[in-house]
């Protein structure tokens, strides 16, 4: 992917691995209207041709913040109509992000507040620097999470914990997020992006159709009853039986070599 964006940096790390950076460090990578447009355009592009990418690592520019949430300076003085128009753009971006068939790893390098915390929660899993802090502060501003926070946080930490976090607006530490199951790994300062990229490379080296189908089965299976989810899993599994990658994987195992997956 070689597109340039005003508020994002997209770096191709070869063989389908992308490093995506929220790039407004002067305002703690706060999400303005243009960042909403840029993220929507990027995920629409990935979703339209998912075979071109194998894994995405999402982080923030600088060492201070992953994303401070919505840009309140831009929102100050907005009419109700303008606010809702902007939020509709963010809603479209969230749907595109949530629907991405390619795995997305969050590399949270600093504060992830409000909409920034919601962006992290949209990732398939999260690595965080051990000094990071999280919060969903919307109720302290007279609004509520509106980018998936009331849905994704309970699925990560449980209903009762999520209610406490959202209804108080209190910040919590990376260590707490790890203890509660929201964060997969705590990293030393300066290591979070590197460790996320290492894991991203492992994912990108696996059979891409298999990875996408497994992600799909996990995500949608958890939203239905077990019997239906098991049927969904088999439908996803059967998609891979006639692929060249399935044959290559078995051949490589027998021949004791690394497989060369092509996504076919």
Q: Are 78 and 86 in contact (CB under 8 A)?
A: yes
CATH fold for domain 207-255: Lyase 2-enoyl-coa Hydratase; Chain  A, domain 2 (1.10.12)
Question: What DSSP line would sit under the chain, residue for residue?
Answer: -----SSEEEEE-STTEEEEEE--GGGTT-B-HHHHHHHHHHHHHHHHSGGG-SEEEEEESSSSEEE--B-HHHHTT--HHHHHHHHHHHHHHHHHHHT-SS-EEEEE-SEEETHHHHHHHHSSEEEEETT-EEE--GGGGT----SSHHHHHHHHH-HHHHHHHHHH---EEHHHHHHTTS-SEEE-TT-HHHHHHHHHHHHHHS-HHHHHHHHHHHHHHTTS-HHHHHHHHHHHHHTTTT-HHHHHHHHHHHHTS-------
Which part of the chain is CATH 3.90.226.10? 8-204
| CB-count burial class (<10 Å; 0-12, 13-18, 19+) for 72 | middle
The pTM of the full predicted model, rounded to 2 decimals, is: 0.93
CATH class assigned to 8-204: alpha beta
Which part of the chain is CATH 1.10.12.10? 207-255
pLDDT score at 146: 94
Q: What is the pLDDT of residues 143-164, one digit of tens each?
A: 999 999 999 999 999 999 999 9
* Interval 227-243 mean pLDDT: 93
Question: With pLDDT > 70 as the criterion, what percentage of the chain qualifies?
Answer: 99
Q: What is the pLDDT of residues 186-203, one digit of tens each?
A: 999 999 999 999 999 999
Q: Are 200 and 17 in contact (CB under 8 A)?
A: yes
Banded model confidence at residue 263, pLDDT cuts 50, 70, 90? confident
* Interval 13-31 mean pLDDT: 96
pLDDT score at 3: 73
Q: What is the pLDDT of residues 51-110, one digit of tens each?
A: 999 999 999 999 899 999 999 899 898 999 999 999 999 999 999 999 999 999 999 999
Which one is predicted more confidently, 223 or 97?
A: 97
Q: Are 38 and 8 in contact (CB under 8 A)?
A: yes
Q: What is the pLDDT of residues 109-142, one digit of tens each?
A: 999 999 999 999 999 999 999 999 999 999 999 9
Banded model confidence at residue 2, pLDDT cuts 50, 70, 90? low
CB within 8 Å of 181: residues ≥ 6 apart: 156, 157
Give the residue numbers marked as catalytic.
Answer: 118, 138
Q: What is the mean pLDDT of the chain?
A: 95
């Amino acid at each position: 992917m070689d597109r340039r964006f005003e508020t994002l940096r997209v770096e191709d790390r070869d063989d389908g691995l992308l490093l995506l950076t929220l790039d407004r460090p002067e305002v703690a990578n706060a999400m303005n209207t243009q960042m909403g447009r840029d993220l929507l355009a990027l995920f629409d592009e990935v979703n339209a041709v998912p075979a071109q990418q194998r894994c995405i690592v999402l982080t923030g520019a600088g060492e201070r913040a992953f994303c401070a949430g919505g840009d309140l300076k831009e929102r100050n003085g907005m009419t109700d109509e303008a606010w809702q128009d902007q939020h509709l753009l963010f809603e479209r971006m969230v749907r595109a992000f949530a629907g991405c068939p390619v795995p997305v790893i969050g590399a949270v390098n600093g504060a992830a507040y409000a909409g920034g915390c919601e962006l992290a929660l949209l990732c398939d899993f999260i690595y965080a620097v051990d000094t990071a802090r999280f919060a969903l502060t919307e109720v302290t501003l007279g609004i509520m999470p509106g980018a998936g926070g009331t849905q994704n946080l309970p699925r990560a930490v449980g209903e009762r914990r999520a209610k406490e976090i959202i209804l108080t607006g209190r910040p919590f530490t990376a260590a707490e997020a790890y203890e509660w199951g929201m964060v997969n790994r705590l990293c030393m300062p300066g290591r979070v992006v590197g460790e996320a990229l290492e894991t991203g490379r492992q994912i990108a080296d696996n059979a891409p159709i298999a990875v996408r189908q497994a992600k799909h089965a996990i995500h949608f299976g958890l939203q239905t009853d077990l019997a239906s989810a098991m049927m969904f899993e088999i439908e996803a599994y059967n998609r891979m039986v006639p692929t060249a990658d399935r044959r290559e994987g078995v051949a490589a195992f027998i021949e004791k070599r690394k497989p060369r997956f092509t996504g076919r």
